[in-house]
Amino acid sequence: MKPLQFSFVHSGITKKQLTKEGKKLQKEIVAMKKAAQAKYKDDRASINLHNDRKSLQKVQALISSKLRLKPEYVVVIGIGGSNLGTIAVQEAVRGKLYDQKYNSKIKILYADTVDTDTLHAITTIIEPTLQEGNNVILNVVTKSGGTTETIANFQVLLTLLKKYKKKDYKNYVVVTSGRDSKLWKVAVQEKFSVLEIPEKVGGRYSVFSPVGLFPLGLIGVNITQLLKGAGDMKKACLNPVQKNPAAVSALIQYAHYKKGRNISDLFLFASDLESVGKWYRQLMGESIGKEKNRNGKRVWEGITPTVSVGSTDLHSMAQLYLGGPQDKITTFVHARHMNSNVTVPKLDTYEHLIENIQGKSLPDLMDAILQGVQIAFNKGKRPYIEIALPDKSEHSIAQFLQFKMMEIMYLGYLLNVNPFDQPNVEAYKTETKKILGSKT
Ligand code: PA5
C-alpha cells in the first residue's frame, strides 16, 4: 500500500514562510488529535469514520443480505453530500464507463435533482427489469431526511417499486439517514432497512459513513481498503505542520488567498477523477464560503473552487490559466499507474501528422503534457501544488479524500470560519418551501 506523494516546491510559499505561518495551526493540530480520540463527539467526527467497526459490520451484513436478492440495479437517491462522494469513488475506482465495462455486475444509477427527464430516464431503465421479475434496490440517502429533491424522487421510485413488488417492496429499500430525522421514523414504521449517519458527521464529510459504504460495497468496491486509506492519511494529517500534508496545503491556500488569489483550481490529470473534483468543489465551497466568521462578524469569506480535467480542459481553459489574471492557486493531481497502457500504433501513413508519438504509450503522452503545463506555469510564475496518487485504487482515492477533508478543516480554522455548517444554504430552501406551499 503506497502513500500519496506531495510536492510543494512550486507553491510560491517558501519553507521559511511555512514554518512561520505554521505556528498558527499548532493549536488546531492538538485539537484535531483530541478529536481523533473523541469518536463522534466533536465536529471533526468524520475523521473517525474509518475506525467504526460496528457500522462497517452492519453495512457489510446489509450488503450480503441485499446481494442475495441478486439486484440488477441500485438507485442512489440523494443529493450534495449524500451522493457526491459515492459518485467520486465509483468513477475513480471503477471508471466512468463502469456500466459498459462491468455489465455483468450490479449497475448503479443516481437520482439527485428533480430533473424530470433524468428521473423519467431512470424509470425507463429500471421498469423493464422489474417487469421481468428482476430486482432493484433503492438506497435513499439523506441526513436531514427533509431534502425536497430526495423525498420527491424517492416517492416516485418507491411507487414504481411497489407496482411490481406489491408484497415485499420493503426488502428492496435501504434508508440511510440521521437517527432523528422524520424519514428515519417512517423507515422504521415501514420496516425498511436503516443505516445511520452519525449526528456529528456533516453531509460533505460523510463519504466514509454508510452514505458511501453501502452503495459502493454493493457494487463491489473494496470498502475495507477505502477505510484503510482514510485511516492511513488521517495519521499523516495529525503530524506536526512540516510533515502534515493537509496542514501545509491549507497554509498555502490561505497565504495565497490573503494575497488575492481567491480561486483554487483542482486540475485532475485523469478523466475518471473528474467527479472527485466535483466532490471537492462542494467540500471547499460549502465549508469555506461564509458570510460570518466564528465571532459572528460579517466577513464574506471564501475561496472559489474550480475543477479542470487534463488534458481536456487545456483545450478550453489554458489560455485563461496561463494568460489571465494571477488569481488562482492550482493543485495538479495525477496517478502514477493507470489501469491500462494503450500505445499509439506505428502506422507509416500517419507518422508525419504529429512526430514522436507513434510507439509511445498514452500515459507517456499525458505525462509529457502535464510536464509541459507545469513548465509553462513556472515560467508564468503561477503557483501550484502537485499530488501523485500511486494509482486509482480504493486505498489511494480514500487517502486523497481524507487529505482534502482535513485540509478544509485546517483552512476553516485559519480563516476563522466554521467549516461544518452551511447557514446560507437554508435561505433558498426556506423560500422554495414557501413557494411550494402557495402552489397546489
Ligand atoms: O454537505 C451538506 O450538508 C449538504 O450538501 C447536504 O449533503 C445536502 O444538502 C443534502 O442534505 P441531506 O443529506 O440532508 O439530504
| SS3 category, 309 | strand
Q: Mean pLDDT across the stretch 133-148? A: 96
Ligand 1 centroid–CA 145 distance in Å is: 9
Rounded Cα distance between 130 and 192, Å, is 19
Specify the residue for cell string 429500471.
126
The helix (run of H) or strand (run of E) holding residue 29 is: helix 26-36
Which of 77, 114, 147 most suits a substitution to test ligand 1, by most atoms within 8 Å of the C-beta? 147
Q: Kindly provide the residue ranges of all beta strands, DSSP E only, lying in 78-114, ordered along the sequence.
A: 107-111
Per-residue pLDDT averaged across 413-426, rounded? 94
For residue 126, give the DSSP letter.
H
pLDDT tens track for 268-303: 999 999 999 999 999 999 999 999 999 999 999 999
Is 143 close to ligand 1, i.e. is its CB under 6 Å away?
A: yes
Average pLDDT over every residue of 417-432: 89
- 429 pLDDT band, cuts 50/70/90, is confident
Give the Å distance between the CA of 78 and the centre of ligand 1: 8
Catalytic residues, which ones? 286, 315, 429
Alpha-carbon gap, residue 18 to 25, rounded angstroms: 11
Confidence class for position 180, pLDDT limits 50, 70, 90: confident
Indicate if ligand 1 lies below 6 Å from the C-beta of 74: no
Query: For 249-269, b where at least 16 C-beta lie within 10 A, e where not — what string?
Result: bbbbbbbbbeeebeebbbbbb
Say what the alpha-carbon torsion angle 386, 388, 393, 398 is, to the nearest 10 degrees. -40
Taking the C-alpha atoms of residue 211 and residue 216, their distance in angstroms, rounded to an integer, is 9
Q: Which long-range contacts (CB under 8 A, 24 or more apart) does 297-301 make?
A: 299/416, 299/417, 301/415, 301/417
d(CA 327, ligand 1 centre) in Å: 30
> Distance between CA 248 and CA 256 in Å, rounded?
12
How confident is the model at residue 222, as a pLDDT?
96
Q: What is the pLDDT of residues 330-362, one digit of tens each?
A: 999 999 999 999 999 999 899 999 999 999 999
Q: Distance (Å, rounded) from C-alpha 132 to C-alpha 164?
A: 9
Nearest to 246 by CA among 231, 255, 236: 236
